[in-house]
Amino acid sequence: MKTNKKKFIYLLSPNKIKNKFFNDLIEILKLNKVSFFQLRLKNTSFKKKLLIGKKVKKICKKYNTKFLINDDVHLAKELNSDGCHLGQKDMQILKARKYLKNKIIGITCHNSIKLANAAIKDKADYLAFGAFYASRTKKTKYKASFNLLKKIKKITKTPIVAIGGINSKNYQKLLLNKANFLAISGYIWKNKNLKPTEAIKYLK
């Protein structure tokens, strides 16, 4: 997992995919600012996720963006995506690795060095920490700090993804504190003042 300074955005999908979404995604990925796109759909059937996933995969491939699936190792395998993101309640990483072989597997570590150490031991490809700020996309159970980032950076070279309420006003602090990638969703898809393609341009 190479970290490109200009491509620090780890974009998550909106919770509901509308027709307009695919055009927005094309316009966003054209800007060459996104390293990863994660399809994160709750309460959607496997069949529907498969259909959406096939379209998204084509777009990601065209614009050289890694395509990841949230939670669902079977969907990641079926779509032959670039990898999968696993939460603490999802499939164990070692079992997922047998399924997905050398694909990217990222792990949610909340705000815990203990969870991070376990994920490092299991050879996770990246570690996700958060929430750093209050999020509109997800209820915030865990709060992560810049101090935590510094501690993690001392124990591992595994790339770090920062999560939670990240927008154009606060993102630079996370980059300055050595987060490699910033997971962003609400600021792009639920922005009341800016269209998705406009919103992303403020993240420089």
Q: What is the pLDDT of residue 135?
A: 75
Distances (CA, A) of 110 to 75, 143, 146, 172, 181: 24, 7, 13, 20, 15
The two structure tokens encoding residue 177 = 């504190």
Alpha-carbon distance of 98 to 93, in angstroms, equals 9
Q: What is the pLDDT of residue 141?
A: 84
Q: What is the pLDDT of residue 6?
A: 78
Is the residue at 1 inside a domain? no
User: Could you read off the pLDDT of 145-186 as tens digits, one per residue?
Assistant: 999 999 999 999 999 999 999 999 999 999 999 999 999 999
Burial of 150 (0-12, 13-18, 19+ CB in 10 A): exposed
Confidence of residue 39 (pLDDT cuts 50, 70, 90): very high
Is the residue at 4 inside a domain? no
The two structure tokens encoding residue 39 = 């399809």
Task: Give the residues across from 129 on adjacent strands.
Answer: 110, 162
Q: What is the pLDDT of residue 138?
A: 66
Is the residue at 16 inside a domain? yes
Which residues span the domain enclosing 69?
9-201
Q: What is the pLDDT of residue 134?
A: 85
Average pLDDT over residues 29-57: 96
Average pLDDT over residues 12-39: 96
Q: Which residue has the tokens 């993102």?
A: 171
User: How many structural domains does the chain have?
Assistant: 1
The CATH code of the domain that includes 20 is 3.20.20.70
Alpha-carbon distance of 155 to 54, in angstroms, equals 38
**Beta strand 181-184 with 9-12: parallel, antiparallel or unpaired?**
parallel
Is the residue at 3 inside a domain? no
Peptide bond into 131 cis (omega under 30): yes
User: Could you read off the pLDDT of 96-151 as tens digits, one per residue?
Assistant: 999 999 999 999 999 999 999 999 999 999 999 999 998 766 677 899 999 999 99
pTM of the prediction?
0.95
Is the residue at 2 inside a domain? no
Check pLDDT > 80 for residue 197. yes
**Which string of b and e fits 69-83 if b means at least 16 CB within 10 Å?**
bbbbbebbbebebbb
Q: What proportion of the chain, given as a percentage, has pLDDT over 70?
A: 96
Q: Which residue has the higher pLDDT, 140 or 8?
A: 8
Q: What is the pLDDT of residue 60?
A: 98
Q: What is the pLDDT of residue 8?
A: 97
Would you call 11 helix, strand, or coil by DSSP?
A: strand
